[in-house]
Amino acid sequence: MNDRAVSLLEQYEIEVRRTWKGRGAILCESDRGLLIIKEYGGPAEKIRFQEYLLNHIRKSGIVHAETLLRTKEDELIVRDQDRTAYIVKTYFEGRECDHRDAQECRQAVETLARLHGVCDFSGSDILREQPVFRVEKEYEKHNRELKKVRKFLKEKSQKTDFEIYLMKHYDYFLDIALQITGELGYYAYGEDSSEPSVICHGDYQYHNIIQTEKGSVLINFEKCIRDYPVRDLYLFMRKLLEKSNWSQALGDLLLTGYNEVKPLSDRDYRQLYVRFAYPEKFWKIVNFYYNNGKAWIPGRNMEKIEKLFAQEGEKQLFLKSVFPSCGV
């Protein structure tokens, strides 16, 4: 990040005491506590809605989250001389949620359930302004990309070890992707065609949950989006389950924690199952391979694909155990 971004802090009604570089951002100690200045690549309308959402969360007093700062000119976005956009938010002393601590992760899903309760805007006009995320459209797009890459690989005369290994298992994952997408509309939603009324965090992962002396604080709401609550729950759980080799005990623990605060409906379980069943990790590996220089395949890619294949049996056992009434 350009150090000149520090000068942008002069546009805020704050007293800067010191600054230092953080991970892709600049941290600032001020008379208003810790702040962070970071680049913002989204539209102005999105950051204004994000501010509305964060103010709504803060007023609830139920969940603690970051706050966006406005400039002396009452703006949320500031730009440097290169027209790069930045935002300034509150920051917090603490550590990320420990993904190795099962009880701390359970507390994180309890916090998530409370967040979803706060961010349910049923009957509110604010929903009219927010586009609805369609997971089936995303999966259809992923499937087109998977077919395109398979065609490319089949036509390639000389294949690397990675490409040979990938092709050996390609049809298995593509068939699952097509099956899940084909039956998603009816299976996941059933007769209930109501649209989601919750604004999700959009990137609910352990590194966006800060443990402080006063409790958990949620940060990085830039990807907030109108979707069904299982979006956040799925993302949080999938990351942890991949690290734990799809532990059924951990899955049950996390679902129990969420349910005790905000019970999941049958439709929620069906949607959650579908998101877990779709081979998203496989698509991510393939997408990274195809769009990041196919002439050179990083060794890390091979490690990821081998781990994915090694864990597939455990993942299928997890789905059958944790979602016994589901199955497309």
Q: Are residues 126 and 271 in the same domain?
A: yes
Tell me the pLDDT tens digit for each residue of 5-16. Answer: 678 899 999 999
Q: Is residue 327 part of a domain?
A: no
Tell me the pLDDT tens digit for each residue of 94-127. Answer: 999 999 999 999 999 999 999 999 999 998 999 9
Q: Is residue 161 part of a domain?
A: yes
Q: Are residues 171 and 314 in the same domain?
A: yes
Length reported for the chain:
328
Mean residue pLDDT across the chain: 91
Q: Are residues 126 and 272 in the same domain?
A: yes
The CATH number of the domain holding residue 148 is 3.90.1200.10
Q: Is residue 124 part of a domain?
A: yes
Q: Is residue 248 part of a domain?
A: yes
Give the model's confidence band at 325: pLDDT under 50 very low, under 70 low, under 90 confident, else very high.
confident
Q: Are residues 316 and 265 in the same domain?
A: yes
Q: Are residues 30 and 109 in the same domain?
A: no
Q: Are residues 17 and 132 in the same domain?
A: no
Q: Are residues 37 and 56 in the same domain?
A: yes
Q: Are 176 and 279 in contact (CB under 8 A)?
A: yes
Tell me the pLDDT tens digit for each residue of 189-241. Answer: 666 667 899 999 999 999 999 999 889 999 999 999 999 999 999 999 999 99
Which of 41, 58, 91 terminates a domain? The answer is: 91
Please indicate whether residue 267 or residue 67 has the higher confidence score (pLDDT).
67
Q: Is residue 328 part of a domain?
A: no
Q: Is residue 254 part of a domain?
A: yes
Give the list of residues 6+ apart from residue 108 with CB closer than 8 angstroms, or none: 97, 206, 209, 216, 236
Q: What is the pTM of this model?
A: 0.92
Q: Are residues 135 and 39 in the same domain?
A: no
- Determine the pLDDT at residue 297: 66
Q: CA–CA separation, 228 vs 238, rounded Å?
A: 16
Q: Are residues 193 and 159 in the same domain?
A: yes
Which of 52, 72, 91 terminates a domain? The answer is: 91
Q: Is residue 77 part of a domain?
A: yes
Q: Is residue 97 part of a domain?
A: no
Q: Are residues 117 and 250 in the same domain?
A: yes
118, two tokens = 């706060």
Output 206-210 pairs: Cβ under 8 A, ≥24 positions apart.
Answer: 206/96, 206/97, 206/98, 206/99, 206/105, 206/108, 206/236, 206/239, 206/240, 207/96, 207/97, 209/96, 209/97, 209/108, 209/111, 210/92, 210/94, 210/95, 210/96, 210/97
Give the model's confidence band at 308: pLDDT under 50 very low, under 70 low, under 90 confident, else very high.
very high
How far lies 4's CA from each of 42, 47, 102, in Å? 21, 22, 42
Which of 48, 71, 91 terminates a domain? The answer is: 91
* 132: containing domain: 102-322
Asked whether the predicted pLDDT for residue 39 surpasses 90, the reply is yes
Task: Classify residue 291 as left (phi > 0), alpha (psi -120 to 50) or beta.
Answer: alpha
DSSP state of 248: H
Give the model's confidence band at 153: pLDDT under 50 very low, under 70 low, under 90 confident, else very high.
very high
Instruction: Name residue 18's beta-bridge partners.
Output: 29
Q: How many domains does the chain have?
A: 2
Q: Are residues 138 and 230 in the same domain?
A: yes
Give the model's confidence band at 324: pLDDT under 50 very low, under 70 low, under 90 confident, else very high.
confident
Other beta carbons less than 10 A from residue 61's beta carbon = 8
Q: Are residues 245 and 281 in the same domain?
A: yes
The CATH number of the domain holding residue 51 is 3.30.200.20
Section 243-271 average pLDDT: 95
Tell me the pLDDT tens digit for each residue of 261-307. Answer: 999 998 899 999 999 999 999 999 999 989 886 666 667 788 889 99
Asked whether the predicted pLDDT for residue 1 surpasses 60, the reply is no
Cα-Cα end-to-end distance for the chain: 46
